[in-house]
Amino acid sequence: MARSEAKQQRGGVRMTDDSLRVRQLTQYQFSWTAREGGETGVWTLQLILDEGAWEEVLTISSDDADALQDILENTKNVFYDIDRRVLMFGVTRTGD
């Protein structure tokens, strides 16, 4: 039996960058792209997670861009669940 197989049978799990499903937001960038024919432009939010270990680009509405910019400017710890595509703002201890 291979060493890694024995470790997994004892309850060990090998973690890789791709196996981490919740990551910390370390940088972000809003972008707006013009469209032809007078159509409304498209807002995107690029999330840089864990200092560039993962990146995600979200297409958002102008209202969401405005709200998210305010929240991101005022929240120290932000996490992103890759599978559910959920931003989580702040970390608060229970009882605080």
pLDDT digits (tens, 9 = 90+) for 56-93: 999 999 999 999 999 999 999 999 999 999 999 988 88
pLDDT digits (tens, 9 = 90+) for 6-57: 445 566 766 565 666 899 999 999 999 999 988 899 999 999 999 999 999 9
Q: What is the 3-state secondary structure (H, E, C) of the chain?
A: CCHHHHHHHCCCCCCCHHHCCEEEEEEEEEEEECCHHHCCCEEEEEEEEHHHCEEEEEEECHHHHHHHHHHHHHCCCEEEECCCCEEEECCCCCCC
Tell me, what's the pLDDT at 68? 97
